[in-house]
Structure 1
């Protein structure tokens, strides 16, 4: 409660009190802290209980490989491939846990610059990047880059090595689209399901991570048809940074 002194009729002074009920806000803050703590605990379990045994297995495999005279043993190569697959799954599980934490302290992030940095970290083969966006958004920069990396990787994997990937502005967000075969309407919801993949070597977590990062920011992600008939991922509900924030 906050009190203020105001002038009343004549020379009298009056005290006016303003009462704000913050119970609901405090409850949301506690729920957010609990959610983030659970995600941190899950990430710790994944990192320790899954990563450590895998490291031990990889160490023993290297010893077996050395005793067999190096590379070339088909059985050893198959086990190594299985280890690589397990490592990729663990990495994606860790990413899913950590990126799912709600964003409570966003920065001003230049969308075009974030996508160009994401592009540099993904194997894009002969794909072409088209940037038609000028927005500066309020976001966690690291997680936004992860979201963009996953969308770029998905585009190149499904639209082909010579795909054209485009970033564009929306009224309340942005989109990333490709010129590949697109995604059928009946499959556009399930592509975000964890474990869903049409690629034999995919983990099925990529687009699920995109959705988790979007929701952690309070955004919405949906699939639509791109300009050239490919897949178009629209992220909406995005807050634009103020001029002061963008200038920092």
Structure 2
């Protein structure tokens, strides 16, 4: 057992079958298996042996499993001869017909993960010894440690990935309002018009809001903040005001109200609009309207569009047709849309440009929405 578990060159998944075979040989039983227990269901994660009912991927209600008693014990549960020991009317015996059984619970981070077990349809001629019980208990403890280590490693990797993405998203989403500040400051210095200073302050406020929300997204993964009733048309117009598109045109033809996170959805509109301007030209026309089937909205433009062969790749992190682009804008859009429980797809607009369709937006019963007032320009 030590020789198998101490091998640093092999993964947990590679060691597990060898440990199950080792246990079958040492205990002289036909089957060895690792289970995961969740929501009163037992699923076999991995198994060795020819028992058709004890194979990897199979599951059953916990109420019909020997393991339901195993997880209530601190040590191993042992059964030498099930019929003799009063199991003949038990649901687990009726389901699996196992005469001999030994198993110990697997604990991961102080929570019961499942069990590590060995069993046979033939009864044993002697009880399981203290050494055999210790052997199974040690295997269960090792499995629990390995699973905890694996989960911790995966969690750390996710956190590293989120941190890297956070850095890239910050640079991507803050670049636009920062450019607005830079441009309006030049005009303000030339004219002295306080209106341009106000626009600079609005852009700075937008950057602060983005940072706060991106920090929240980094901490909470793919979650969103509180939902409120949002007039998507008003949100689209406000989002347009943060895009550098002086000669472009926005047309909004939707009165849809949705339950969502205002700031997150503002990121969606801003990135879609910025994508249209970047790829459709300075005089592009962008339209926002309702899908024909009433399930959502679309954002389309009359620019060059996205080649059909590339449409499956546009939401992949890093995809960009611009050498200076980060390729994050559409990835951000998909993440936010998915966090709301909606779907997004890309196709071609009637004018040959890009068309993004966001579906699955449920109808809001009340049209009296608690909408934030738009601060941007209209169409």
Same fold (TM over 0.5): yes
Residue aligning to 2:299: 176
CA distance in 1, matches of 2:370, 2:217: 32
CA distance in 2, matches of 1:39, 1:244: 40
Gaps of 5+ in 2: 1-38, 41-154, 171-210, 372-379
Which of these two proteins has the greater Rg computed from alpha carbons?
2
CA distance in 2, matches of 1:224, 1:95: 32
Residue aligning to 2:191: none
Residue aligning to 2:241: 120
Post-superposition offset of 1:95 = 7.7
CA distance in 1, matches of 2:343, 2:354: 16
Normalization by structure 2: what TM-score? 0.41
Q: In 2 relative to 1, CA 190–42 (structure 1 residues): closer, same or farther, beyond 3 Å?
A: closer
Q: In 2 relative to 1, CA 173–39 (structure 1 residues): closer, same or farther, beyond 3 Å?
A: farther
Aligned-residue CA RMSD (Å): 3.4
Post-superposition offset of 1:247 = 5.7
Whether contact under 8 Å (1:96, 1:212) holds in the other structure is no
Post-superposition offset of 1:105 = 3.6
Residue aligning to 1:157: 278
Correspondent of 2:349 among 226, 236, 240 = 226
Correspondent of 2:319 among 196, 206, 209 = 196
Post-superposition offset of 1:244 = 6.3
Deviations 1:144-167 (A, max 9, x none): 000000000000000000000000
Post-superposition offset of 1:47 = 6.7
What secondary structure, in the 3-state scheme, does the structure 2 residue paired with 1:191 have? coil
What secondary structure, in the 3-state scheme, does the structure 2 residue paired with 1:146 have? helix
CA distance in 2, matches of 1:37, 1:174: 37
Residue aligning to 2:331: 208
Map of 1:23-172 to 2, 5 A cutoff? Answer: 23=39, 97-98=217-218, 101-103=222-224, 105-170=226-291, 171-172=294-295
Deviations 1:125-158 (A, max 9, x none): 3100000111001111110000000000000000
CA distance in 2, matches of 1:228, 1:96: 38
Residue aligning to 1:74: none
Whether contact under 8 Å (1:131, 1:166) holds in the other structure is yes
Normalization by structure 1: what TM-score? 0.61
Whether contact under 8 Å (1:179, 1:230) holds in the other structure is yes
CA distance in 1, matches of 2:165, 2:307: 34
CA distance in 2, matches of 1:47, 1:136: 30
